[in-house]
Structure 1
């Protein structure tokens, strides 16, 4: 490849090729696999991204964008024929506006740094999930990530006020506004949110912040009946009057594995229940909120809505409780090979559907472990399946088992991770032919040469 094409718009240190690619990779879980690419480029401004794309467009060079490389559906995979653009140097927090309660950030800013910057201004960026120490906001926006607080604050889409993106031909689309209400025709920025880098490259965003809570309460609750899990969700949500921010469900075998790997991760509740719920409530009056939270739990036990409960007594307890839920490596580390799923389905149907999946998966030769957990309050359940080999046949068997039945009940094969390459064969289960046709039309208009993240989604 003629790298002089990019030397006209980038410094030498911003172009990595040849042996330099051996220390790069396409995913943080595959750091032992060197990156396959024509070259990797490290732009530092939107204008440099634009200039790169103009060159790629003129020379028909396909492009894959790399952020924090935490994607789980193959959206950052390459085969060696692409130019890879990394957003890691687009890492500036440009402004925190406390009056507008907004933060202006470049695409490469890591989520945890956004949290810390917001907290320093007594504000909160509520999006939260386990990969916050690696995930970059550009990738988060491109996949419309969810996480642990969707119940209260919504998906990424609800937290983006303004956006800047570079199109396939290098043109810059900028709608960097701090306003919440803008009903002036099409909301173009929404096209880029959740499009997995197939329509444009996100370079900047204006994030919607919230006032920082003064109290945070959490508890683990034990159940044997899924119906009572749903009843308890309604009970807590109605009585906490908007303060319930998280409601996570962990199946028994997942909870046991998550809390028995070391002395450092101990179980808050004994291993005698079918379901374990982790709840979080954010408020503004520490003492009153704690009393209210405790009384609600006590009443639920007295009314036999729940079997057992343990409440966090300190901030360190809260961190301990959430560390159990977030550290999925405690599951992955004990698998020879792992396959991940994040399905979405109506809340009342989750209990039986997951029970059926456990039973069906256990009958597939090659399946060794099955773990389920997830954000039950928004209908999103994660599966991790441990298996003996990487054969395509076994993968398809497991895929069919997990996805079978979702279409009939109005579910989705992807709640928050996207489609990428791993799920594109199953897109038809949750999108109609007409919807997919419209999506392809939008893609062909915005990226007529199909250069952006080629082969992904469709």
Structure 2
């Protein structure tokens, strides 16, 4: 199909095809692999996206949407015959309404730019994770991203008030309201949040902002027993009275690698413990909050709830603490090939489940490194596995090892990254047959030709 179909609605500078596609790629970690697609289009408005989709619908052209390309489940992969729509020119912050505490943005706006814009008016968009410098809001919404502050503020789903999206046939669905309460029948925007671009293309959103905190305290804490991690979570959350915003757990070998000499990131605590917890508290009274934070840690030490702790004494310390947790390249850099997981399971069961997986993975030929860490307060643990080769049999053996047992304990194969292509075979472990039938019914109703992100999820 000729790309001249799109010349009628887009400027030639908005269309990339042929040899020029070699300058593009499907994932930020695979920049050495040229994009394999029919063409790439860069619309600059919702109306242009609508016009593109009308042409694609009429001509049965499959469509894959590219945002920041930081996904980890193959959601942006292509096979060669797709029209790729990049949201990079949908990059405007249209409005910041301080009174409503909202921000209206196009879907190509980078998350870190949202943070900066909110901070400029003393507000906070609380969603935060390591890829914030690349991830775009459209991708954040389509995957229902989580991150480091879900404990206090919830997933993306809780932070979106309004959405504008384009469906498979080019229809524009606009539900752009700044109100928190709208109980007028079905909440249509929720269909697009977490649907990985399979039900529609998000082009615009209204984000829910919070008042910016004036204090931020953080600490690393050492434990030898997982039960103590859980009891400390209950203790610190209860006594901080709503201020606890982050509770990150790092297994010892992961912590050692994250702070290795080769990365020039010094460890806040010595390598003496089995578990390391990074906590964050956001408040509004800097001196009082710091003192309260310190007293709570001291009492926990006196009661032997924790073995060791070190507090951040400055904003630069806080950044150092979080850089250790967020920079996963410190783990990937020494892997020949890497495989990533983001599972979810009940908090009390995490210690034993992950411990068993460490032992099982170590027995698999071809596995070289095993690292675990995660947002334990919301039950989300990440695994990063280093392996000797990319063989399908090895991948499946590792998958089976990580996922086997989740169904029985009410867990999930995906806590925040979605399903994409990489987890399709395991959707039945965390969704009932009836749920999957309903999902497929929604897909066929909203995308009867199966053009939007084909082959993903199902």
Question: How far apart are the structure 2 equivalents of 1:219 and 1:380?
Answer: 20
The answer to whether the 8 Å contact 1:261/1:330 transfers is no
How many residue pairs end up in the alignment? 458
Is 2:274 aligned against 1:260? no
What is residue 155 of structure 2 aligned with on the other side? Answer: 155
Is 2:204 aligned against 1:204? yes
- Using the TM superposition, give the Cα deviation of residue 4 of structure 1 relative to its aligned residue in structure 2, in angstroms: 1.7
- Using the TM superposition, give the Cα deviation of residue 3 of structure 1 relative to its aligned residue in structure 2, in angstroms: 1.7
2:29 alignment partner, SS class: helix
What is residue 245 of structure 1 aligned with on the other side? Answer: 245
Please list the CA deviations of residues 289-336 of structure 1 after superposition, one character each: whole Å capped at 9, or x if unmatched: 000000000000000000000000000000000000000000001000
Q: How does 1:125-164 map to 2 (within 5 A)?
A: 125-164=125-164
The answer to whether the 8 Å contact 2:145/2:416 transfers is yes
What is residue 11 of structure 1 aligned with on the other side? Answer: 11
Q: From the superposition, tell whether residues 435 and 261 of structure 1 become closer, same or farther in structure 2 (CA, over 3 Å).
A: farther
Specify every segment of 5 or more residues in structure 1 that has no aligned partner in the other structure, as ranges. Answer: none
Question: How far apart are the structure 2 equivalents of 1:142 and 1:354?
Answer: 28
2:94 alignment partner, SS class: strand
Question: How far apart are the structure 2 equivalents of 1:6 and 1:269?
Answer: 58
What is residue 306 of structure 2 aligned with on the other side? Answer: 306
Q: How does 1:228-377 map to 2 (within 5 A)?
A: 228-262=228-262, 264-377=264-377
What is residue 425 of structure 2 aligned with on the other side? Answer: 425
What is residue 80 of structure 1 aligned with on the other side? Answer: 80
Is 2:47 aligned against 1:47? yes
Please list the CA deviations of residues 47-105 of structure 1 after superposition, one character each: whole Å capped at 9, or x if unmatched: 00000000000000000000000000000000101000000000000000000000000
- Using the TM superposition, give the Cα deviation of residue 261 of structure 1 relative to its aligned residue in structure 2, in angstroms: 4.2
- After TM superposition, the score normalised by the length of structure 2 is 1.00
Question: How far apart are the structure 2 equivalents of 1:163 and 1:141?
Answer: 9
Question: How far apart are the structure 2 equivalents of 1:201 and 1:133?
Answer: 22
Please list the CA deviations of residues 256-302 of structure 1 after superposition, one character each: whole Å capped at 9, or x if unmatched: 00000436310000001000000000000000000000000000000
What is residue 404 of structure 1 aligned with on the other side? Answer: 404
The answer to whether the 8 Å contact 1:118/1:124 transfers is yes
What is residue 23 of structure 1 aligned with on the other side? Answer: 23
The answer to whether the 8 Å contact 2:263/2:330 transfers is no
Question: How far apart are the structure 1 equivalents of 2:27 and 2:198?
Answer: 18
Please list the CA deviations of residues 121-147 of structure 1 after superposition, one character each: whole Å capped at 9, or x if unmatched: 100000000000000000000000000
Is 2:231 aligned against 1:226? no
Alignment RMSD:
0.5
Please list the CA deviations of residues 382-404 of structure 1 after superposition, one character each: whole Å capped at 9, or x if unmatched: 00000000000000000000000
The answer to whether the 8 Å contact 2:340/2:383 transfers is yes
Question: How far apart are the structure 2 equivalents of 1:123 and 1:338?
Answer: 38
What is residue 439 of structure 1 aligned with on the other side? Answer: 439
Question: How far apart are the structure 1 equivalents of 2:256 and 2:298?
Answer: 25
Question: How far apart are the structure 2 equivalents of 1:286 and 1:421?
Answer: 46
- Using the TM superposition, give the Cα deviation of residue 162 of structure 1 relative to its aligned residue in structure 2, in angstroms: 0.3
1:249 alignment partner, SS class: strand
Please list the CA deviations of residues 347-387 of structure 1 after superposition, one character each: whole Å capped at 9, or x if unmatched: 00000000000000000000000000000000000000000
Specify every segment of 5 or more residues in structure 2 that has no aligned partner in the other structure, as ranges. Answer: none
Question: How far apart are the structure 2 equivalents of 1:313 and 1:425?
Answer: 47
Question: How far apart are the structure 1 equivalents of 2:59 and 2:448?
Answer: 14
Question: How far apart are the structure 1 equivalents of 2:23 and 2:38?
Answer: 15
Question: How far apart are the structure 1 equivalents of 2:347 and 2:306?
Answer: 18
What is residue 62 of structure 2 aligned with on the other side? Answer: 62
Please list the CA deviations of residues 389-434 of structure 1 after superposition, one character each: whole Å capped at 9, or x if unmatched: 0000000000000000000000000000000000000000000000
What is residue 113 of structure 1 aligned with on the other side? Answer: 113
Question: How far apart are the structure 1 equivalents of 2:8 and 2:311?
Answer: 60
